[in-house]
Amino acid sequence: MEANTARIDGFSINLYQTWLLVNCPQSYTASLRKRYGEVVALFTPLGTTFAIALTPNSARQILSADPAIYDAFWKEGFAGVAGSGSIWVLGKNEHRRERQLLSPAFHAQSFRGYGEVIREVTHQKIKHWQPGQTLRALDTTLSISLDIIMRLVFGAENGKFLDEGCRVLTALWRNMHPLFIFFPALQRGWFPPWSRYARAKNDFSKWVSKYLTERRARKDRTDDILGRMLAAHYEDGLPMRDEDIRDELITILLAGHETTATALAWALYDLGTCPDKLENLRIELASLGVEPDPELIAKAPYLTAVCNETLRLHTLLPEIARELVLPLELSGHTLIPGDSVGVSVMAIHHDPDLYPEPNQFIPERFIGRTYSPFEFLPFGGGHRRCLGSGLSDYEMRIALAEIVTQWDFEPVGIEREIRHDIAMGPKNGVLLRIKGRRTSDKN
Ligand code: HEM
C-alpha cells in the first residue's frame, strides 16, 4: 500500500513543540486547530506519523473505525508500569477478550449498592474539617477515592488488610514517573525513579498474592470486582491467571484513583468560585429530602450538569491515542500500519463554536442539550472507552453532594492546571478555606 500521509497538513515535531503539547495542551491544540482545521499530522523523528483529530468529525472517524485496525498505543511504556497482562497494553483480540471479561464488574448495577458506602466514606473523611481551616482539597478527595476503590475492588474488607493495601498502592502511585512511561529505555535498575517504582510494584504483587491465596481458601463468592475476576472465565473456559489479575488490579487502581479524586477537587474549586452555581446545586439537593437515596442523587440533573461541566473544563486526559496495524482513511488521507492516531479531547472540549465561552464554568450548557460522544468525551471513546466511567460518575456525584451539603467553603487563590504524570491536575491541589458547617454532625 502506498502511503500518502505526507498530504495531511502537518509538521515535523521538535522537542519544544512536544513540550508544548504535553504541558500546554489547551492553548497549543487551539492554535493547531486554528491553523490546520480538522486534523494535524505530526511527523516524528522515528519516521512515523501521529495524526491528531482536532474536531468531532475527525474524532468520529477514528473512534468509530473497526477496532481490528488498532493496537494499544505506547505498549512498551505502559507494560512496564502495569504489566503485560494489563488491558492498557493488550491489543486486538486479547483486548476484546479482556474487556468482555471485565466489563460486567463495571456495569452500573454492580456498584449501585455502594451508594451508601460512598456517602459514608465521604462523611468520615470530611467530618474533622474545622471552620477557618485552609486545606488541600485534593488530599481529602484522594483519600476518599482510594478508600472507595479499595472497597469496591476488594469488598467489605476493613481494618488492617485495607490499611496495608492502601499503603502499598499509595507507594506504587506516588513512585510513578512520566519519564519512564514516555522513555521505556529508562525502565532499568540504574534509573532511581524506576528502581523505586519496581520495588513498590514488587510489594504490591506480594500483597496481592497473599490476598489471592487467602481469598481462594475462604471459597466465598463475593460480588466485588476481585470476586468477579476470580469467578470469571474467558470464552475458551480458562480462568484468569494470578499474574493477569495482578496486572489488571494495578491498572484499575492506577486508572481510577487519582482521576476521580482530581475531578472531585476541581468540582469543589469551580463551585467555590461560582457561588450562584453552588446555590443552584444546593437548592436541587435540598429538594431531594434529608439523606436521599443515592440513586436519586446520582440522577439529579443539575448535579449531573455540574460534574459534566467539570470534566469538560478540566479535561483530565487531554489526548487519547491508538497505533495502527491496518490502514485508516482519515479526512481523505491514508494512514499506514505503524502510524498512530489520536484525538485531542482538550481541543474539542474548548472549541468555542461547540462550547461558547469555553473557559467559563457553565453547567447550564449541559441542561436541555445532549452532546454527541465525539463532542463530549472525557472518558475517551470507541472500543477502549474508559471502563470505570460509570463508577467514576456515580462516585463523583454522591461524594460531591455530601461535601456541599455539609460544608461552606471558598477557594484560596487561583488554581492552575499542570501535567501530573499522564493526566492534568491542579498545581496546588485546590486550596479551600472552610467557612463553616451547614448541618449538625451526625456522628
Ligand atoms: C474522572 C475519572 C476518570 C477519567 C477522566 C478517565 C478517563 C479515561 C480515558 C480518557 C481513558 C482512555 C480511553 C480511550 O482511549 O478511548 C480511560 C481508560 C481506562 N480507564 Fe478511566 N477514567 C476515569 C476513571 C476511571 C476509573 C474509576 C476506573 C476503574 C475503576 C478506570 C479504568 C480505566 C481502564 C481500565 C481503562 C482502559 C480501558 C481500555 O483500554 O480498554 N477509569 N479512562
Which CATH number fits the domain that encloses residue 69? 1.10.630.10
The pLDDT assigned to 284 comes to: 98
Quote the domain boundaries for residue 115: 5-437
Would the CB of 388 count as within 6 Å of ligand 1?
yes
The pLDDT assigned to 223 comes to: 74
Which residue's CA is minimally distant from atom 21 of ligand 1? 386
Confirm whether 374 is domain-assigned: yes
The C-alpha atoms of residue 70 and residue 400 are separated, in whole angstroms, by: 37
Distance (Å) from CA 262 to ligand 1 centroid:
13
Would the CB of 150 count as within 6 Å of ligand 1?
no
Q: Where are the beta strands (DSSP E) in 290-426?
A: 319-324, 328-330, 333-335, 340-344, 407-411, 417-420, 423-426
Would the CB of 424 count as within 6 Å of ligand 1?
no
Distance (Å) from CA 136 to ligand 1 centroid:
25
CB contact at 8 A, 53 and 62 = yes
Would the CB of 67 count as within 6 Å of ligand 1?
no
DSSP state of 339: B
Indicate the pairing of strand 49-53 with strand 340-344: parallel
Confirm whether 300 is domain-assigned: yes
Distance (Å) from CA 251 to ligand 1 centroid:
9
Indicate the pairing of strand 39-43 with strand 49-53: antiparallel
Distance (Å) from CA 132 to ligand 1 centroid:
36
* Separation in Å, CA 179 to CA 19, 49, 344: 13, 22, 21
Confirm whether 291 is domain-assigned: yes
Would the CB of 380 count as within 6 Å of ligand 1?
yes
Would the CB of 259 count as within 6 Å of ligand 1?
yes
Confirm whether 63 is domain-assigned: yes
Q: Alpha helices of 160-299 — where are they, by DSSP H? A: 160-174, 178-182, 192-218, 225-231, 242-273, 275-286, 294-299
The pLDDT assigned to 89 comes to: 94
Q: Write down the residue that cell numbers 487467602 correspond to.
A: 214
What proportion of the chain, given as a percentage, has pLDDT over 90?
Answer: 69
Q: Of 65, 63, 8, 17, whose CA–CA distance to 37 is shortest?
A: 8
Confirm whether 443 is domain-assigned: no
Confirm whether 442 is domain-assigned: no
What residues of the chain score a pLDDT lower than 70? 1-7, 156-159, 221, 440-443
* Separation in Å, CA 228 to CA 16, 207, 222, 225, 387: 46, 19, 7, 5, 15
Confirm whether 233 is domain-assigned: yes
Helix (H) or strand (E) holding 13: none
Q: How far is Cα of residue 195 from the mean position of the Cα atoms in its chain?
A: 26
Distance (Å) from CA 189 to ligand 1 centroid:
29
Look at the chain and report how many structural domains it folds into. Answer: 1
Would the CB of 317 count as within 6 Å of ligand 1?
yes
